[in-house]
Structure formats: C-alpha cells, structure tokens
Amino acid sequence: MTVDRRAWFGRKRIGWGFSPRSWQGWLTVFIYALLMMTLPACFGTQWGDRGVRIVWIVLSILFFIVFLWKLERPKRN
C-alpha cells in the first residue's frame, strides 16, 4: 500500500493566497462550507447562539489544521 503525499492545497498561480489543488482539497472545502451553513439551521434552536459559535470555532480550527497538514511545502534549494 502506497501513501499519497500530494498536497491538497497550494499557492495560487495568479494572485495571492492558497486554493485547493486536488479533489480531496475541494471535498474538504465543500464539507467545511456545508457544515458551517447547515449546523445553525439544524441545531441552532437546541444549542443557542453560543453553542453554534463554539461549533463554528471548532470546525474552523479543524479545517485550519487539515489545511496546514496538507499544504504544499516550499521547495528548498
């Protein structure tokens, strides 16, 4: 079994910032956006505003961790 070491996210070719480079990166962004939009509608009344904000913060931290883990590393000379 081989380990896939390709980066899911990388620098944009034009402009500043980063963007998804593979289908795994796009899937990660899609799931993150879907959860951020649907969780308040599904559980907002049960959790309240504070609970939804805490979930948003946790999801954002998890997304950021995956982003940094699968980010394209700069090439060293």
Structural domain total, the chain: 1
- Position 77 scores a pLDDT of 64
Q: Tell me the two tokens of residue 33.
A: 């956006």
Q: Residue 2: which residues within 8 A CB-CB, separation 6 or more?
A: none
Distance of CA 50 to the CA centre of its chain: 22
Share of the chain above pLDDT 90, in %: 45
| Predicted confidence (pLDDT) at residue 24 exceeds the cutoff of 90 | yes
**Residue 40 resides in a domain:** yes
Q: Are 52 and 40 in contact (CB under 8 A)?
A: yes
Residue 60 forms part of a structural domain: yes
User: Does a structural domain hold residue 75?
Assistant: no
Under a CB-based contact definition with an 8 Å cutoff, are residues 9 and 21 in contact? Answer: yes
Domain enclosing residue 35, as ranges = 21-69
Give a yes or no: residue 36 inside a domain: yes
Would residue 9 count as lying in a domain? Answer: no
